Structure 1
Amino acid sequence: MTVGILMEKPSAARNGSKAWGGTKGTFDGEQYVIAHARGHLYEFAAPDKMVDPSLAGKYKNWDLTNLPWDLRDFSWANEPIKDTAQVRNNVKQALSGCEEIAIATDWDESGEGDAIAINALVELGLTDKKISRLHFTDESEKSLQQAFKDRRPVQSVHEHPAFKKARFRSMFDFASMQWSRAATIMARQSGQDTVLRQGRLKSAMVKLVGDQLKAYNDYVKQPFFQNRFRDENAVVYTNPDEPRFDRANQVPQEYTASPVVRDSVEMRRTAPPKLLDLAALSSMLVNKGVKAQLTLKTYQAMYEQQVVSYPRTEDKTITPQQHAELAPLADRIAAVAGVDTKHLTHREPRKTHVKPVGAHGANRPGPNVPSSLDDVEQRFGTAGRIIYQTLAKNYLAMLAADYEYEQHKGHVEKYPDFKGLANVPKKMGWKLVFDPDAGDEDTASDENESAHGLGTGAEPYVHEGANKRPEHPSMKWLMKQLEKRDVGTGATRTSTYSEVTNAKAKNPLLVEKGKKLTLASAGEMSWLLLPGTRIGDLSLTEQIYADMRAVAEGSADPDQLLTRVADWVREDIEVMTRNADAMRATLGLAKTEVSARAEGVWAAAPDGAKKVSFKKVWAGHEFTDDEIGRLLAGEEIAFEATSKAGKSFSAKGRLGVSEFKGRRYVGFQLEVPDRPEAWCKRSFSEDEKQALEAGEILELDGFVSKNGKTFPAKVSWDAKAKRIVPHFDDKKSKPRAKARV
């Protein structure tokens, strides 16, 4: 019997080949062959392709009257992803002759890896075989070898819990396109030809950043003045009940100098910072000038070489086994990262960082330790160097001692309600290895830290303070907010953030300016539409994750859960419609009529076939379905159009990319002839063309109006504008030469 092992991508297949002894052969007494996908090979078809043809128009056209969708109309059919034909053929050829197929795609809590594999097996007709699943924490040889030996049977691919979970999430996220369509229509009703992408995580990011920006910009400093004491070591003594005043000269001078009484001295300690996830790591790198997109790309390349651990983990700790595997490499990792091993005095597993739960474990260095940071940089660039050094120091801090300090508490002898506190560092411990807030001016240092502790005497003074200004949003701030609200995982936060801040994207939602984060034009419109909507509610993701777990457990029907989406969309459209008036008032926009639009895959796009949307009406002519199909295919079409002056003219052209006020868009482009060819369905003879080019006005018959009537007219050729000019009822105009027939 041959076991076909389906892995997620080529790099995984290479690691599997190392673990099991080749792309095919025998391992642990069983014959096997390795095949690999390239991420997702299939995706849901377009909405209009998954419904009865009689409903295609409703699901294809972007119009509020077509929302919400009835998801019961969908077949939820998959279609191949572009440019995957060779990969799909290779998978089918490799696995068709196997008696068992073992799923060895990435194993994560979202079930995405299982969805990649099972969708491929279903669409390729390979589900009639015995199916099993490999569970591995990473792609190291030991992990993959053990996973092969311990693989578990999959009784039914359609009832496989991880697949059901992932499929439900994909169905909901697909259905969430309705919110993007609704918001985009609102933008176009405001004269803005832009796409406002909405989604669980995108909308949460926009909402958080927009709200925080408003708080930051609306900040009004409110100073106050208050009596306090300060000793010779700069320790401040305060009384929480001491009154505050608006001006310094209002503060009563009622206190005199006094000795300080020390109330207690207590030794305290703090454990090393928690292990990083991709979001926290990427936030630190953004502060060093490395964009999130580059972090993702570089980290993936490093993982494929086992230099770092699995990227898309949801774990915040590592398992005892993972600790045992990495601990022997600690000194080599320290040498590469520039950490003195004398600080690594706590080699035993910490209960705060090492727990017998999880799968892939938190992000950390991998089993293949590089020879140096220069080696890392040569292989993975500057970003790779920073990634490895940061991950290495974060991991090594776990092996360092606790940070220890003495906490001194005391009070002013004459006025005991004035109390002070000082933290005196004693052992720096892990702080000598890794400081997660180094160089971050937004993170306040310990204001109570004092090298000498409490002094012996304190003097009164008038303290000037103010209400604290809200922090300006940044990637680090945003990731903390999302984590606090449990919205997304570290990996999905990072990938989505990379997408919405991509300056090369057509309609980015957020803009990075150094460390600061602001709303892009599309993001500002989106933020103004979100208040009071469900898609803008941060609890939506929590609801969907709960639903995913219920679906996986079999306690909830995914189709039944999805029926709620229609009500959510309907309610949010009503809210967005109200919000749109406020949005237009805020941005100085006016409500406009929205032109009908056509959409589809433009096969002849300059940068390769892609999905596009363009105006369905051009110069008074509405393109038919046949004309839309021909335009998308790259063909030229001809039709009768009407000028702004109400005059009829023959138009010929094809789809193209134009630019208006710096914005590029796809639309019908009129083919402008170099010579007079035809007008009103009448073609000119060669003699007539030459006469028109010579500047003559010709009086000719045989022109056809829009209603099909034939009429005569005097015409001339405007060489500059490259168009025929009719001369109706122009008694003054006379042909400069006899019209040629």
Structure 2
Amino acid sequence: MDYLILTEKNSAFNKYEEALGGRSGMYEGKSYQLVHARGHLLELEEPAKQVSPALKEQYQSWDPADMPWNVSDLRWRKATIDSGAKQLLNTIGSLSKEAKAIMIATDNDPSGEGELLAWEVINAIGWQGQVLRIYPVDESAPEIKKAMAKPKDVTNQQKDGDYLKAYARQRWDYLSMQLARLSTSYARAAGYRSVPLLSQGRLKSPILAFINDREEAIANYVKKPFFEVKFKDNNDHVYARKVEKDDDQPAFRHSDKADAEDELAAQLSEPGTVEVTKQEEKRQAPNGLLDLAKLDAVLSKQGFSSKLIQATYQTLYEADYVSYPRTEDRVMTTEQFNQLVDNREAIAQLVGVDPDKLTHLEARAKLVRDQNVAHGANRPGSKVPSDLNELTQVVKGAQAGKCAIEIYRLLAMSALSILGEDYVYVAVEARIKEHPEFTTKFQQPKELNFKEVYVDGDLPKDQLDAGTTALAEVMEGANPKPSKPTKTWLFKKLASVGKYGLGTGATQQSTVAQLTDPKSRMYYLKDTRGTLSLTPNGKMTALMGKGTMIADPEVTKDLFADMDAVGRFKKNPNEVLKTSEAVITHDMPILEANVAKLSQVAKVEDQPREKREITFQGRTGKLSLDYGDHHFTDEEVDQLLAGESITINVNGHPMTGKLAWKTYKGYDFPGFQTEQADWQRQITFKGKTYDVNKKWGTHNFTDAEWTKLEAGKEITFEYKSKDITGKLIFKKMDNGSTKLAFVPSFDPNYTK
């Protein structure tokens, strides 16, 4: 076999199978075999497993005294995510023995994530042969075939810039988990012992800082009215004096209305003559296409969550209805432009755009180019649906169906707008002849053109000509109150940092999707139709991050730049990793001091969590003396150490259990283990024993259903007049642990 072609997931595998004519065979004189991962098959192990046994306790610890870590202590070990991942890895390894080269065909997204997960597989199977990389613009058959014709040799892993960039990012983020441990530990040590994970990160912390600063500005806003003399002409245009930047109190703005009236009477009481100083016809071309962040900001106003938008877009992409989601391009190639031109009438009919408005069929240089374009801007895909309802057939659920239609509609109108002619308007500037410091400016639309296809906001309104005469009057104003933070505002803030902004639109959208997901451990932002507010946990996390480097957007901007430099071989990855120690060392005392700010949103709990060092079954560890709201007495601890079962009252319910050794993220510790409750059933799943819930809702699983569930198979049963399909899955809980449970197919945690 010439090529073992590694795709990122099963859906991509299917696309390649269709494009090349089979899962294996011959293509252009080369024999090949397709295989797929399912995203990352491996992940970095817990810190305690990355170091020598002598350092294990230090790296298990959340105690600030054990940080910052020494990067040279870490072995950077990776392990398969689960048994399914291990099985896939074994299959890929077995097939690779027959191959002359492995061809990486994972996503080539700007972060290098596809490169990283491919090299994880290649390294894990011990491959020593040739490695090739192809870069299709999308997963359509023509683009796959085009990419297959020009593979790049990346056998030397250290010369693969995309991999090095992702390598640096992954390891930097891993090291930054210390900041989450520090934030959480400082808060708990100060008495906030029920505080959840307070996670800090290179993008999430600046986002939370922006939101917190805006919320504080709103809370601290004090209205300061002022009175100012302005002229208004006979066509209602207002003429005012220029307020210099950063001048909050110009002399002509009076706190007392009487002073403004005196100024008017003494100096400005006579009518003024309007003098037009500029009247120039101008043209404005379309600015560019929507990226994923802007798409999210618009759709959120319709009630769609960031997580739903992200998942729905991905599904539409896999079905060829839209282009690659995680692009950083704001332009498209000539070929992509020509495809849009060819499909314009069909797409316009779908989304209600007048085809007669789409007359600019020559590519604009600022929107179409063939150099330095990876995927092209977000736009409709190669497959045009027969009607918008067709899109609902590839997603699950009514809400996802509505979201799919709106995603396509917005992308289509945004893309079609570049086929509209330039917006034409007259720019008018005028002043009061007798008092030329009083000026006005406005636009008079002549031809809306592309703005009638798509405009972000309201269409320009018709304006009357400048008047001929104007009268002065006292007008009241006030310092502007900060508006509520919205996604539109946030994404603009992120885009305004530095020359290129903080991350791509897709990265920003993905981070906000996590922060606004109520099921996430990092549910820090509430999204109310595109308006954002900090949750209590988000507020605590933001307060802990005040004044830190990790929450400083300029630091994050430099970090993004450093990682890009690694990808261009301008910087050594290990040099970038050293900056993590500088950030953590700088931020530790600030995080500790910021605990004092938490009293704004939380109360110190009366009794700190107490632990006792014990020896049990020949092993030593620290036993927490608290279980729920129950505090173990000395007598109960003695009974537990003797191996006895005891019954305690937890949150008003009796619970029976005994002492046992538990494991959490590689850390072994003694703890109270409850006995199997009446609502539980003990089963064997994938060779291990688990206690699971006997029922889902009010449905009690039958023995026949348990047989299928224990075998890892799906079952279907009737529940409240509906068919429910699902299976047993290790579901991630809010505290970071996993629990074996029945998960229905409509649940976001469900995987095939």
> Please, what TM-score do these two structures have when normalized by structure 2?
0.78
2:256 — aligned with what? Answer: 247
Structure 2 residue matching 1:346: 3-state secondary structure = coil
Q: How is 1:359-378 mapped onto 2 (pairs within 5 angstroms)?
A: 359-378=374-393
Match of 2:489 among 477, 483, 487: 477
Match of 1:398 among 403, 418, 425: 418
Q: Which moved more, 1:82-91 or 1:101-110?
A: 82-91
1:464 — aligned with what? Answer: 476
The question of 1:107 aligning with 2:96 is answered: no
1:150 — aligned with what? Answer: 150
Name the CA distance, whole Å, in 2 between partners of 1:628 and 1:16.
54
The question of 1:487 aligning with 2:491 is answered: no
1:629 Cα offset (Å): 10
Name the CA distance, whole Å, in 2 between partners of 1:625 and 1:293.
46
1:64 Cα offset (Å): 1.0
Change (3 A) 1:6 1:654: farther
Name the CA distance, whole Å, in 1 between partners of 2:236 and 2:646.
76
Change (3 A) 1:648 1:64: closer
Q: Which moved more, 1:644-653 or 1:168-177?
A: 644-653
Name the CA distance, whole Å, in 2 between partners of 1:654 and 1:229.
84
1:502 Cα offset (Å): 1.1
Change (3 A) 1:630 1:101: farther
2:91 — aligned with what? Answer: 90
Change (3 A) 1:20 1:148: same
The AA in structure 2 aligned to 1:650 is Q
1:428 Cα offset (Å): 0.7
Q: Which moved more, 1:517-526 or 1:544-553?
A: 544-553
2:520 — aligned with what? Answer: 505
Gap runs ≥5 in structure 1: 439-444, 597-616, 633-640, 675-741
1:355 Cα offset (Å): 2.5
Change (3 A) 1:647 1:300: closer
Please tell me whether the aligned partners of residues 536 and 601 of structure 2 are also in contact (alpha carbons under 8 angstroms).
no
1:415 Cα offset (Å): 3.2
1:162 Cα offset (Å): 1.7
Name the CA distance, whole Å, in 2 between partners of 1:628 and 1:645.
18
Please tell me whether the aligned partners of residues 329 and 373 of structure 2 are also in contact (alpha carbons under 8 angstroms).
yes
Deviations 1:241-265 (A, max 9, x none): 8712123333224323334232331
Deviations 1:71-108 (A, max 9, x none): 11111011001232332233233333111111111112
Q: How is 1:426-441 mapped onto 2 (pairs within 5 angstroms)?
A: 426-438=446-458
Q: How is 1:713-732 mapped onto 2 (pairs within 5 angstroms)?
A: none
Name the CA distance, whole Å, in 1 between partners of 2:636 and 2:168.
54
Structure 2 residue matching 1:418: 3-state secondary structure = strand
Change (3 A) 1:81 1:672: closer
Please tell me whether the aligned partners of residues 26 and 32 of structure 1 are also in contact (alpha carbons under 8 angstroms).
yes
The AA in structure 1 aligned to 2:257 is A
Q: How is 1:185-204 mapped onto 2 (pairs within 5 angstroms)?
A: 185-189=185-189, 190-193=191-194, 194-204=196-206
Please tell me whether the aligned partners of residues 19 and 144 of structure 1 are also in contact (alpha carbons under 8 angstroms).
yes
Please tell me whether the aligned partners of residues 221 and 466 of structure 1 are also in contact (alpha carbons under 8 angstroms).
yes
1:170 — aligned with what? Answer: 170
Please tell me whether the aligned partners of residues 653 and 668 of structure 1 are also in contact (alpha carbons under 8 angstroms).
no
The AA in structure 1 aligned to 2:206 is A
Structure 2 residue matching 1:171: 3-state secondary structure = helix
Change (3 A) 1:265 1:567: closer
Structure 2 residue matching 1:51: 3-state secondary structure = coil
The AA in structure 2 aligned to 1:389 is R
Match of 1:518 among 516, 520, 533: 533
Structure 1 residue matching 2:157: 3-state secondary structure = coil
Q: How is 1:387-426 mapped onto 2 (pairs within 5 angstroms)?
A: 387-426=407-446
The question of 1:558 aligning with 2:573 is answered: yes
Please tell me whether the aligned partners of residues 421 and 454 of structure 1 are also in contact (alpha carbons under 8 angstroms).
no
Q: Which moved more, 1:97-106 or 1:485-494?
A: 485-494
The AA in structure 2 aligned to 1:238 is A
Q: Which moved more, 1:192-201 or 1:385-394?
A: 192-201
Please tell me whether the aligned partners of residues 475 and 515 of structure 1 are also in contact (alpha carbons under 8 angstroms).
yes
1:544 Cα offset (Å): 2.4
Please tell me whether the aligned partners of residues 511 and 520 of structure 1 are also in contact (alpha carbons under 8 angstroms).
yes
Structure 2 residue matching 1:288: 3-state secondary structure = coil
Name the CA distance, whole Å, in 1 between partners of 2:208 and 2:615.
36
Deviations 1:721-740 (A, max 9, x none): xxxxxxxxxxxxxxxxxxxx
Percent of aligned positions that are identical: 33
Q: Which moved more, 1:232-241 or 1:205-214?
A: 232-241
Name the CA distance, whole Å, in 1 between partners of 2:531 and 2:298.
13
Match of 2:215 among 194, 206, 213: 213
Q: How is 1:268-667 mapped onto 2 (pairs within 5 angstroms)?
A: 268-356=282-370, 357-380=372-395, 381-438=401-458, 450-485=462-497, 486-584=501-599, 586-587=600-601, 589-590=603-604, 595=609, 617=611, 622=614, 643-644=632-633, 650-651=639-640, 652=644
2:239 — aligned with what? Answer: 237
The AA in structure 2 aligned to 1:529 is M
Please tell me whether the aligned partners of residues 343 and 400 of structure 1 are also in contact (alpha carbons under 8 angstroms).
yes
Please tell me whether the aligned partners of residues 230 and 461 of structure 1 are also in contact (alpha carbons under 8 angstroms).
yes
Structure 2 residue matching 1:650: 3-state secondary structure = helix
Structure 2 residue matching 1:563: 3-state secondary structure = helix
Name the CA distance, whole Å, in 2 between partners of 1:257 and 1:74.
79
Name the CA distance, whole Å, in 2 between partners of 1:630 and 1:124.
39
Deviations 1:120-171 (A, max 9, x none): 011012x222211111211122211111110011231344222122111111
Please tell me whether the aligned partners of residues 431 and 437 of structure 2 are also in contact (alpha carbons under 8 angstroms).
yes
Please tell me whether the aligned partners of residues 655 and 668 of structure 1 are also in contact (alpha carbons under 8 angstroms).
no
1:506 Cα offset (Å): 4.1
The AA in structure 2 aligned to 1:4 is L
Change (3 A) 1:118 1:592: farther
Deviations 1:634-688 (A, max 9, x none): xxxxxxx995487865235699997699xxxx973566999xxxxxxxxxxxxxx
The AA in structure 1 aligned to 2:221 is Y
1:65 — aligned with what? Answer: 65
1:294 Cα offset (Å): 0.2
Change (3 A) 1:285 1:23: same
The AA in structure 1 aligned to 2:141 is E
Change (3 A) 1:214 1:88: same
Please tell me whether the aligned partners of residues 5 and 32 of structure 1 are also in contact (alpha carbons under 8 angstroms).
yes
The AA in structure 2 aligned to 1:349 is A
Structure 1 residue matching 2:443: 3-state secondary structure = strand
Please tell me whether the aligned partners of residues 187 and 525 of structure 1 are also in contact (alpha carbons under 8 angstroms).
no
Structure 1 residue matching 2:116: 3-state secondary structure = helix
1:411 Cα offset (Å): 2.3
1:505 Cα offset (Å): 2.7
The AA in structure 2 aligned to 1:229 is F
Gap runs ≥5 in structure 2: 244-250, 396-400, 625-629, 654-663, 665-670, 679-752
Name the CA distance, whole Å, in 2 between partners of 1:338 and 1:673.
59
The question of 1:29 aligning with 2:41 is answered: no
1:175 Cα offset (Å): 0.5
Change (3 A) 1:368 1:422: same
Please tell me whether the aligned partners of residues 323 and 379 of structure 2 are also in contact (alpha carbons under 8 angstroms).
yes
Name the CA distance, whole Å, in 2 between partners of 1:162 and 1:506.
30
Change (3 A) 1:621 1:224: same
1:684 — aligned with what? Answer: none
Name the CA distance, whole Å, in 2 between partners of 1:161 and 1:548.
10
1:120 — aligned with what? Answer: 121
Structure 2 residue matching 1:200: 3-state secondary structure = coil
Aligned residues: 631
1:232 Cα offset (Å): 2.6
